[in-house]
């Protein structure tokens, strides 16, 4: 599967993940969920690690796609807002460790294949 198709599939799956969190918790933004910091965000680390393996040398993309998929969910649930730049900045900060995890697993997948 090409990287483009993997990216699209991950984007759709990630948006569904974040939207389901909103539905389950009755919130409009994923990070408003009560268990966001102790369950949903940490679970995104595991999901990005698995996706990073699939993306191999471009593993970092998996963490970025997974985390930034919160933005379209927020936009669909709340519409345009003057707080949009704050959401983008917060998501950018949240993406850093998740990108690191997916980059590491992608790197490990490349090393395992070549070694």
Averaged pLDDT for residues 14-31: 96
Domain boundaries, the chain: 3-114
Among 16, 90, 95, which Cα is nearest to 61's?
A: 95
- Model-level pTM? 0.92
46-66 CB burial, b ≥16 within 10 A, e <16: ebbbebbbbbbebbbbbbbbb
pLDDT in tens, 32-78: 999 999 999 999 999 999 999 999 999 999 999 999 999 999 999 99
């Amino acid at each position: 599967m090409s990287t483009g198709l993997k990216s699209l599939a991950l984007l759709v799956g990630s948006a569904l993940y974040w939207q389901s969190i909103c539905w389950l918790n009755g919130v409009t933004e994923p990070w408003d969920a009560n268990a966001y910091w102790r369950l949903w965000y940490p679970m995104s680390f595991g999901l990005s690690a698995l996706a990073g393996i699939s993306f191999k040398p471009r593993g970092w993309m998996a963490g970025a796609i997974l985390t930034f998929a919160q933005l379209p969910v927020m936009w669909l649930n709340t519409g345009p807002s003057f707080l949009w730049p704050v959401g983008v900045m917060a998501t950018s900060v949240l993406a850093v460790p998740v990108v690191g995890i997916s980059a590491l697993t992608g790197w490990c997948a490349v090393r395992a294949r070549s070694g």
